[in-house]
Amino acid sequence: MLRSLLGFALLAGTAAFTSAQENPAVSASIMQQITACFMPPALSNAQAIIFFEVDEHGQLVGAPRFEEKGRSEAERAFAAAAIRAILRCGPYDTGGEREIRVRFTSEPQH
């Protein structure tokens, strides 16, 4: 199964693509699509890694899932916001990728 890693750094409302593993145009498209729907709760220094699978038409297969190893309630709320964005913004043109891994991060704004 092919894997992708898309990275999002949410700094002052912007996003930055950080992966070099897949087609940059496809990754940029997915990044733009998800960040347009991402409405994180007010929180600083949060991170969520979300995994999801899509079919050949870019539709979600099953529910997106996230790592929960000892996460705080605030971090779980941040991850839930990331999952809502993924659910709202499909279908995705993944360039043939089936399993997607997205890293959402938020840093304090000064």
pLDDT tens track for 50-97: 889 999 999 999 999 987 665 788 888 888 999 999 999 999 988 777
pLDDT band at residue 44 under the 50/70/90 scheme = low
E strand or H helix at 38: none
| pLDDT over threshold 60, residue 17 | no
Say how far apart CA 45 and CA 72 lie, in whole Å.
12
Sign of the CA dihedral 19, 22, 23, 29? negative
pTM of full prediction above 0.85: no
Q: What is the DSSP letter of 60?
A: E
